[in-house]
């Protein structure tokens, strides 16, 4: 399963403004590759838009629970949106199959 995650936090929860949080964030950030591996999560992309207090991730796993654990390992209180996504080639294949079924009726 491929998921797109949008994580947002407020200035009140931002390590950039709350410097005492920064050591925990740095430590967690350095551990993220090992955490992903242990959980069976593939990180295709993880990017931050610091001025907007937002991060985006494209993750892959067979388990939504593993993705949840991965995201929760980031020590910032955040609002998180999770969208299951799929490559365009898969969407087109599904569309073709739907059209074929409709033509058989």
Summarize the confidence of residues 15-40 as an average pLDDT: 94
Q: What is the pTM of this model?
A: 0.84
Place of tokens 């033509």: 103
- Residue 16: what pLDDT? 87
- Residue 96: what pLDDT? 94
* Band of pLDDT at residue 50, cut at 50, 70 and 90: confident
Summarize the confidence of residues 38-57 as an average pLDDT: 95
* Band of pLDDT at residue 39, cut at 50, 70 and 90: very high
Neighbours of 74 (CB within 10 A): 20
pLDDT tens profile 82-94:
999 999 998 899 9
Give the domain range for residue 41. 2-104
Residues with Cβ within 8 Å of 8's Cβ and at least 6 positions away in sequence, in order, are: 52, 53, 54, 55, 78, 79
Domains contained in the chain, number: 1
For residue 80, what are its two tokens?
A: 């998180």
Domain containing residue 7: CATH number: 3.30.70.1060
Bridge partners for 45 per DSSP: 58
């Amino acid at each position: 399963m491929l998921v797109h995650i949008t994580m947002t936090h407020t200035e009140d929860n931002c390590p950039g403004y709350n410097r005492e949080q920064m050591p925990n964030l740095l430590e967690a950030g350095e551990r993220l590759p090992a955490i992903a591996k242990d959980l069976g999560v593939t990180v295709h992309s993880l990017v931050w838009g610091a001025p907007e207090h937002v991060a985006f991730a494209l993750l892959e796993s067979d388990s939504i629970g593993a993705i949840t654990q991965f995201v929760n390992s980031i020590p910032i209180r955040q609002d998180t949106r999770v969208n299951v996504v799929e490559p365009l080639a898969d969407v087109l294949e599904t569309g073709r199959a739907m059209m074929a079924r409709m033509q058989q009726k």
